[in-house]
Amino acid sequence: MRTLQVAVIPGDGIGPEITSACLPAVVTAGARSSVQVETTVLDWGGDRYLRLGAAMPEDAAAQLRNFDAVLFGAVGRPDVPDHELVWGLIIRLRQELGLAVNLRPARSFPGVPTPLRGNPHIDLLVVRENTEGEYVGAGGLAHAHTPEETALEVSVHSRRAIETAARVAFDAAQRRRGHLTLVTKSNAMRFGYLLWDRVVDQIAAEYPDVAYERVLVDAMAARLVQRPEGLDVLLCSNLFGDVLSDLAAALVGGLGMAPSANVRPGHTPGIFEPVHGSAPDIAGQGSANPSAYLLSAAMMFEQNGLPGAADDLRQSLASALDAPRLRTRDLGGTASTDQLARAVCDRLGDHQEVPA
């Protein structure tokens, strides 16, 4: 039996609640595909920061390299400055593990409400460059704390990072519906985004079977709301991918439904995490939607060559969400985190194949 070694970082707020609710379903989905999911829980995050002054150990990235995948909940506590945890943990890990690409699918589920009229069916994938662009962390503060204080926040767009994200996006488009839209702002930002246009145009020529178009980010914001059905793969810089993927998530039921994968093509481990944060406003109530976590685990299976386990997990979730009594509060229901996660696990168990 194949084993999948998974490092589990529950983190803060609703992170530990959804993690403990979802792990049984993740293990069961693996078992149905003859994979033993072995989990190692790491206590990294806000509590550790308050105890030891750092959200994770110095050699965190090296420790994680021993695993096939990382399942991450969320970090963030009201009593710790956000940048200490977001920069000190998740952004640092993305950079140190070279997780150059962030995959953020947004898919409609039957019974999950969309704020859009006419209930359009949405199935799109945001492919986001994950280590540079506007979030590279280059800049400075001159004349700090004087009336003249001035901040410099420098964007970095390298051909190498653009190519890496573009190839992941075109490969995904080939497996999906064969359509790719590059999202930039090259009319107003003439260096970084013109490089994106040029590099992606070149790579598009290698994929004649993928229909390729370019759309400016402001127009894309409008199109996502007005005509999201036709969109397939959106290739975005770090900043635009961050913003548009939250918009896309809102269209398919909100942050509780939005999974993501941080990957380095051809390498493990990737980090698989819900898009949402630690939701301190609902933490401790047992009401958080576990769907984003389960869908992130499905992406983990897919990226580790286990598409059957991924499909099983998604189908069991879809079947559970189809029952109004199993929907969580953010979806207009009354189910608890545990009730929905357990229903998914039960459905996975029920579909056991009968041995010949």
As measured in angstroms, the least distance from the Cβ of 102 to ligand NAI is 11
Note if 135 is an active site residue.
yes
Task: Check residue 256 for interaction with ligand NAI (CB under 6 A).
Answer: yes
Note if 218 is an active site residue.
yes
Q: What is the 3-state secondary structure (H, E, C) of 32-86?
A: HCCEEEEEEECCCCHHHHHHHCCCCCCCHHHHHCCCCEEEEEECCCCCCCHHHHH
- Dig out the tokens for 140 from the structure: 């400075």
Q: Which is nearer to Mg ion, 59 or 82 (CB)?
A: 82
- Whether 72 and 273 have beta carbons less than 8 Å apart is answered as yes
Among 158, 255, 268, 338, interactor with ligand NAI by CB under 6 A: 255
Among 148, 281, 350, 353, interactor with ligand NAI by CB under 6 A: 281
Task: Check residue 82 for interaction with ligand NAI (CB under 6 A).
Answer: yes
The entry of ligand NAI, Mg ion, none near residue 242 (CB within 5 to 8 angstroms by kind) is Mg ion
Note if 12 is an active site residue.
no
| Other CB atoms within 10 Å distance of the CB of residue 36 | 12
Q: Where are the alpha helices (DSSP H) in the chain?
A: 14-32, 46-52, 60-64, 82-85, 92-96, 159-175, 192-204, 217-226, 238-251, 291-303, 307-321, 337-350
- Whether 152 and 142 have beta carbons less than 8 Å apart is answered as yes
Sign of CA dihedral 92, 94, 98, 101: negative
Task: Check residue 241 for interaction with ligand NAI (CB under 6 A).
Answer: no
Going by C-alpha positions, the residue among 277, 297, 293 that lies closest to residue 74 is 277
The entry of ligand NAI, Mg ion, none near residue 256 (CB within 5 to 8 angstroms by kind) is ligand NAI
The entry of Mg ion, ligand NAI, none near residue 279 (CB within 5 to 8 angstroms by kind) is ligand NAI
Q: Which is nearer to ligand NAI, 22 or 224 (CB)?
A: 22
CA 172 to chain centre: 15
Task: Check residue 276 for interaction with ligand NAI (CB under 6 A).
Answer: yes
Helix (H) or strand (E) holding 261: strand 259-264
As measured in angstroms, the least distance from the Cβ of 161 to ligand NAI is 20
- Residues interacting with Mg ion, by CB under 5 A? 242
Task: Check residue 289 for interaction with ligand NAI (CB under 6 A).
Answer: yes
Place of tokens 């576990």: 290
Among 31, 61, 86, 216, interactor with ligand NAI by CB under 6 A: 86
Q: Is 140 helix (H, G, I), strand (E, B) or coil?
A: strand
Q: Which is nearer to ligand NAI, 35 or 100 (CB)?
A: 100
Q: Which residues contact 59 (CB under 8 A, 6 or more apart)?
A: none
- Taking contact as CB under 6 A, which single stretch among the options 36-44, 74-82, 194-202, 205-213 is the one that binds ligand NAI? 74-82
Note if 246 is an active site residue.
yes
Q: x/- contact string, 324-353, with ligand NAI (CB under 6 A)?
A: ------x-----------------------
Active-site pick, 47, 123, 171, 185: 185
Cα 95–Cα 97–Cα 98 angle in degrees, nearest 5: 60
Active-site pick, 12, 49, 68, 135: 135
The edge-to-edge listing of strands for the beta sheet with 179-184 is: 35-41, 2-11, 69-74, 267-274, 259-264, 101-107, 123-129, 233-236, 179-184, 211-216
Task: Check residue 279 for interaction with ligand NAI (CB under 6 A).
Answer: yes
- In single-letter form, the type of residue at position 60 comes to A
Task: Check residue 74 for interaction with ligand NAI (CB under 6 A).
Answer: yes
The residues annotated with a catalytic role in the active site are 135, 185, 218, 242, 246
**What residues make contact with ligand NAI under the rule CB under 6 A?**
14, 74-76, 82, 86, 90, 255-256, 273, 276-282, 288-289, 292, 330
